[in-house]
């Protein structure tokens, strides 16, 4: 059965290593026959959550920027994939801001069940992505039908394109193909 896969690439850097992971996942998912949409946060206007909680009453955010349209796509996806660079052992600020802005999904009849996390960092040590994964798991825990279904980490990649021969690319492609 074909699934609707939404990939959100959160790096703002051109030719980013985390975006390469997102592309590899997309290739695998398409090869498996799934419908894939990839959204980059580059060039998007996404303001900080104001904490007004109006979205929980109305189902939509009061801020008029690019986040509500992305949140709608998150709501309608069967599978979510977040790709981020690791900054100071955490997800990018853009990713965290987007997660906060998706607050209107809480209590809604969202479709997603499987959530995947792809990340890249200059550091190579095992566990470099641990805090970022935990941050995403905190968001996922608010959605009882959702689960963290898999992660891919590429360490030791600093400059744009450093990931080109990294084994994490094939791991991301295979994870996408396994949906």
Residue ranges of the domains in the chain?
4-177
Q: Distance between CA atoms of 104 and 16, rounded to whole angstroms?
A: 29
CATH 3.40.50.360, domain 4-177, yes or no: yes
| Number of helices followed by number of strands (H, E) in the chain | 6, 5
In this predicted structure, what is the pLDDT of residue 179?
97
Tokens 């100071």 sit at which residue?
Answer: 88
In this predicted structure, what is the pLDDT of residue 100?
97
Do 92 and 11 touch, CB atoms closer than 8 A? yes
Share of the chain above pLDDT 70, in %: 100
Model confidence over 30-64: pLDDT tens digits?
A: 999 999 999 999 999 999 999 999 999 998 899 99
112 confidence band (pLDDT: 50, 70, 90): very high
In this predicted structure, what is the pLDDT of residue 131?
98
Q: Distance between CA atoms of 139 and 148, rounded to whole angstroms?
A: 10
In this predicted structure, what is the pLDDT of residue 78?
98
Q: Distance between CA atoms of 51 and 45, rounded to whole angstroms?
A: 18
136 confidence band (pLDDT: 50, 70, 90): very high
Sheet with 35-40, strands from edge to edge, namely 35-40, 4-9, 79-85, 114-121, 147-155
Q: What's the mean per-residue pLDDT of the chain?
A: 97
168 confidence band (pLDDT: 50, 70, 90): very high
In this predicted structure, what is the pLDDT of residue 122?
97
Query: To 10 degrees, the CA torsion angle through 78, 30, 38, 11?
Result: 110
| Strand stretches in the chain, DSSP E | 4-9, 35-40, 79-85, 114-121, 147-155
Tokens 């796509």 sit at which residue?
Answer: 73
In this predicted structure, what is the pLDDT of residue 9?
98
């Amino acid at each position: 059965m074909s699934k609707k896969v939404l990939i959100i690439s959160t790096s703002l850097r051109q030719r980013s290593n985390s975006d390469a992971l997102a592309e590899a996942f997309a290739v695998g998912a398409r090869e498996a026959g799934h419908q894939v949409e990839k959204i980059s946060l580059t060039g998007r206007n996404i303001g900080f959550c104001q904490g007004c909680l109006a979205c929980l009453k109305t189902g939509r955010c009061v801020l008029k920027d690019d986040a509500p349209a992305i949140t709608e796509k998150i709501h309608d996806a069967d599978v979510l994939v977040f790709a981020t660079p690791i900054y100071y052992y955490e997800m990018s600020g853009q990713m965290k801001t987007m997660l906060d802005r998706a607050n209107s999904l809480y209590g809604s009849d969202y479709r997603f069940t499987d959530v995947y996390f792809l990340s890249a960092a200059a550091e190579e040590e095992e566990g470099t992505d641990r805090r970022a994964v935990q941050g995403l798991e905190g968001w996922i825990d608010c959605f009882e039908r959702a689960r963290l279904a898999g992660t891919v980490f590429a360490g030791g990649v600093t400059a744009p394109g450093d990931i080109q021969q990294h084994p994490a690319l094939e791991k991301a492609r295979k994870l996408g193909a396994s949906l």
